[in-house]
Amino acid sequence: MRLLATAIVMGVGTIAPALAIGLLAGKALEAIGRNPEAASKVQTAMILAIAFAEAIAIYALVVALIIKFV
């Protein structure tokens, strides 16, 4: 039962950030395409948002490891 819970946590915890990162990158590219002068500001905000989204996947990994080994 623990292995199933671990798999579910990792599955859900990595799909959501992956979708978020894809949407962030797509919208950032659209914004840069519409306003190339603001590319540096958009890129900075995009990288920061991607880092926060990736942190969610790391939290899911930590929870999965706790479920598996504790």
The confidence band for 5, taking pLDDT boundaries of 50, 70 and 90, is very high
Residue 37 to residues 27, 31, 32: CA-CA distances in angstroms? 16, 10, 8
What's the pLDDT score for residue 38?
Answer: 95
Residues 21-59 have pLDDT tens digits of 999 999 999 999 999 999 999 999 999 999 999 999 999
CA-based Rg of the chain, rounded to a whole angstrom? Answer: 16
Q: Counting Cβ atoms within 10 Å, is residue 44 exposed (0-12), middle (13-18) or buried (19+)?
A: exposed
Q: How many CA atoms lie within 13 A of 29 on its CB side?
A: 6
The confidence band for 60, taking pLDDT boundaries of 50, 70 and 90, is very high
Contact 43, 3 (CB under 8 A): no
Complete domains list, the chain, with CATH: 2-69 (1.20.20.10)
What's the pLDDT score for residue 17?
Answer: 94
